[in-house]
């Protein structure tokens, strides 16, 4: 799975881009080394991918304006054009510290699902808030996907290197702890997060053994 994620990232990258696998687990690093990936061994105990990548930024001494796209290792079906879009969106938005993506929610079931993170933006596409709850709240009553252009957050981020170092030095905020959403730390610090709306969600990542079986079937069917 890690190799497939890496190959997707390599397809998305330009020739001058670096594709790095950062991990603290020797098993992951050994596998990555075997298929030829560039690796960085990080400290044990990072609470989020954001903190892990901030360590890589410090180790590599990247300039503050360097753009880094964080692709999680459990997203083997993330489309390369979407990976690239995240970085390009941040490049187009100099006032933003981060960029991410969203897509329309079409069902009440997804709107009510706390595992599907929701986001609300302002008129310029900057995030106002992220939540596991339906936002905005439908005061007329009940979960109703037809009463608002509800947006599902897609967990793919582009950061500026300086942003990562700043965020990693900040304490976990109450909202971040309550929602278990690391991007709320950036909003709490007054940073702008640009959200690019796309037509449809990428395929689901791997959270369970059943997800892994489904992904394997998809990949094998495509080869």
Helices (H) and strands (E) in the chain, counts: 9, 8
36-49 average pLDDT score: 89
Q: From CA 125, how far away is CA 98, in angstroms rounded?
A: 12
Classify 98 as helix, strand or coil. Answer: strand
Residue 120: beta bridge partners? 129
For helices 2-12 and 80-92, give the axis angle rounded to 10 degrees: 50
- Please check the confidence at residue 217 and state whether its pLDDT lies above 90: no
Could you report the per-residue pLDDT of 73-97, keeping only the tens digit for each?
A: 888 889 999 999 999 999 999 999 9
CA distances to 18, 43, 181, 182 from 172, rounded to whole Å, are 29, 19, 10, 8
Q: Which of 68, 71, 74 is nearest to 56 (CA)?
A: 68
At 198-212, the pLDDT tens digits run: 998 888 888 788 888
**Residues forming beta bridges with residue 103, ordered by sequence position:** 152
**pLDDT tens by residue, 124-160:** 999 999 999 999 999 988 899 999 999 999 989 999 9
Contact 43/62 with Cβ under 8 angstroms? no
Which domains are assigned to the chain?
A: 2-206 (3.90.550.10)
Alpha helices in the chain (DSSP H): 2-12, 26-34, 49-60, 80-92, 108-112, 161-168, 174-179, 183-188, 209-222
Q: Between vectors from CA 9 to CA 27 and to CA 205, what angle results, nearest 5°? A: 70
- The answer to whether residue 29 scores a pLDDT higher than 80 is yes
Q: What confidence score (pLDDT) does residue 206 get?
A: 84
> What local confidence, expressed as pLDDT, does residue 16 receive?
82
Strand locations in 48-192, DSSP E? 67-70, 98-104, 118-121, 127-131, 151-160
The model's pLDDT over 157-198, given as tens digits with 9 standing for 90+, comes to 999 999 999 999 999 999 999 999 999 999 999 999 999 999
pLDDT at 69 over 80: yes
Averaged pLDDT, 31-40: 95
Q: Give, to the nearest 10 degrees, the angle between helix 26-34 and helix 2-12.
A: 60
User: Can you give the pLDDT at residue 223?
Assistant: 64
């Amino acid at each position: 799975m890690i190799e497939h994620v890496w190959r997707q990232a390599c397809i998305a990258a330009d020739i001058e881009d670096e594709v790095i696998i950062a991990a603290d687990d020797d098993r992951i690093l050994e596998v990555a080394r075997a298929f030829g990936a560039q690796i960085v061994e990080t400290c044990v105990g990072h609470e989020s991918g954001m903190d892990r990548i901030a360590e890589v930024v410090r180790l590599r001494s990247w300039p503050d304006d360097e753009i880094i796209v964080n692709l999680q290792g459990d997203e083997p079906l993330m489309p390369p054009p979407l990976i690239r879009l995240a970085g390009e969106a941040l490049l187009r938005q100099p006032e933003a510290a981060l960029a991410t993506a969203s897509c329309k929610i079409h069902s009440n079931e997804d709107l009510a699902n706390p595992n599907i993170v929701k986001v609300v933006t302002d008129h310029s596409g900057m995030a106002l808030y992220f939540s596991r709850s339906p936002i905005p709240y439908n005061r007329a009553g009940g979960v109703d996907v037809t009463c608002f252009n509800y947006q599902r957050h897609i967990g793919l981020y582009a950061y500026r290197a300086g942003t990562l170092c700043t965020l990693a030095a900040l304490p976990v905020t109450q909202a971040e702890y309550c929602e278990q959403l690391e991007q709320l730390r950036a909003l709490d610090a007054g940073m702008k997060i640009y959200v690019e709306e796309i037509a449809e969600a990428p395929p689901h990542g791997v959270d369970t053994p059943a997800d892994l079986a489904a992904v394997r079937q998809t990949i094998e069917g495509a080869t």
